[in-house]
Structure 1
Amino acid sequence: MNLEEAGIGEPKKTKKSKKARMKLKAAAAAAGGGGAGAGPGVAIGGVVPVVMKRKGGGAVESKKMSVMSGAKGNDDGDLGAKKKRNRKKRKKGVRDAGVEEVAEEGNNSHESDVVAATPPKREIAKPLSFLDKMRARLSGGQFRMLNEQLYTCKGEDAFELFQKDEGAFKLYHAGYQEQMTHWPRLPVDVVIDWLKARGPNMVVADFGCGDARLSKSVKNKVYSLDLVACDDTVIACNMANTPLEKGSIDVAVFCLSLMGVDYPRFLKEAHRVLKLGGFLLIAEVKSRFDPANDGASPTQFVDALKRLGFALVSQDEKNKMFCMFTFKKQGEKTGKKPIQWPDLKPCIYKKR
Structure 2
Amino acid sequence: MTKATGEGKGTRESRRGKRRRLSRSQGEDSNKEELSRVRLAPPTRLRKKCAKAQGSNRPSLLDKLRLRLSGGHFRMLNEKLYTCSGNEAFRLFKDEPELFDVYHAGYQEQMSRWPKQPVNIIINWLRSRNSSLIVADFGCGNASLAKAVNNKVFSIDLVPTDPSVIACDMSHTPLESKSIDVAVFCLSLMGIDYPGYLKEANRVLKPSGWLLVAEVRSRFDPNNGGADPDRFAEAVKQLGFTLTSKDFTNKMFVLFFFKKEGGGVSARKQIDWPELKPCLYKRR
TM-score normalised by the chain length of structure 2: 0.83
* Mapping 1:24-173, distance limit 5 Å: 85-92=17-24, 124-126=52-54, 128-173=59-104
Question: What's the offset of the Cα at 1:259?
Answer: 0.3
Tell me, yes or no, if the aligned pair for 1:150 and 1:158 is still in contact at 8 Å: yes
Structure 2 residue aligned with 1:347 = 279
Structure 2 residue aligned with 1:208 = 139
Distance 1:249 1:337, change over 3 A: closer
Tell me, yes or no, if the aligned pair for 2:133 and 2:182 is still in contact at 8 Å: yes
Separation (CA, whole Å) in 1 of partners of 2:13 and 2:59: 64
Q: Which of 170, 173, 181 is the matching residue for 1:242?
A: 173
Structure 2 residue aligned with 1:180 = 111
**For residue 347 of structure 1, what is the amino acid of its counterpart?**
C
Structure showing greater radius of gyration is 1
| CA root-mean-square deviation | 2.8
1:192 matched to 2:123? The reply is yes
Cα shift readout 1:3-39 (whole Å, capped 9, x = no counterpart): xxxxxxxxxxxxxxxxxxxxxxxxxxxxxxxxxxxxx
Higher helix share: 2
- In the alignment, structure 1 segments of 5+ residues that lack a partner are 1-60, 65-75, 100-120
Structure 2 residue aligned with 1:33 = none
Tell me, yes or no, if the aligned pair for 2:246 and 2:257 is still in contact at 8 Å: yes
Question: What's the offset of the Cα at 1:93?
Answer: 5.8
Distance 1:244 1:336, change over 3 A: closer
Separation (CA, whole Å) in 2 of partners of 1:347 and 1:286: 9
Distance 1:336 1:130, change over 3 A: closer
Tell me, yes or no, if the aligned pair for 1:307 and 1:335 is still in contact at 8 Å: no
* Mapping 1:267-282, distance limit 5 Å: 267-282=198-213
Higher RCO (C-alpha 8 Å, min separation 6): 2
Cα shift readout 1:218-268 (whole Å, capped 9, x = no counterpart): 110000000011121010010000001110000000000000010000000
Question: What's the offset of the Cα at 1:89?
Answer: 2.3
Separation (CA, whole Å) in 1 of partners of 2:269 and 2:94: 36
Aligned-residue identity in percent: 55
1:283 matched to 2:211? The reply is no
Separation (CA, whole Å) in 2 of partners of 1:346 and 1:163: 22
**For residue 333 of structure 1, what is the amino acid of its counterpart?**
V
Separation (CA, whole Å) in 1 of partners of 2:12 and 2:266: 111
Tell me, yes or no, if the aligned pair for 2:199 and 2:267 is still in contact at 8 Å: no
Distance 1:234 1:294, change over 3 A: same
> What SS does the corresponding residue of 1:301 show, helix, strand or coil?
helix
> What SS does the corresponding residue of 1:194 show, helix, strand or coil?
helix
Q: Displaced runs of 4+ in structure 1, greater than 6 A?
A: 78-83, 94-99, 334-337
**For residue 349 of structure 1, what is the amino acid of its counterpart?**
Y
Separation (CA, whole Å) in 1 of partners of 2:268 and 2:29: 101
* Mapping 1:242-321, distance limit 5 Å: 242-321=173-252
Tell me, yes or no, if the aligned pair for 2:157 and 2:167 is still in contact at 8 Å: yes
Distance 1:312 1:232, change over 3 A: same
Separation (CA, whole Å) in 1 of partners of 2:258 and 2:279: 23
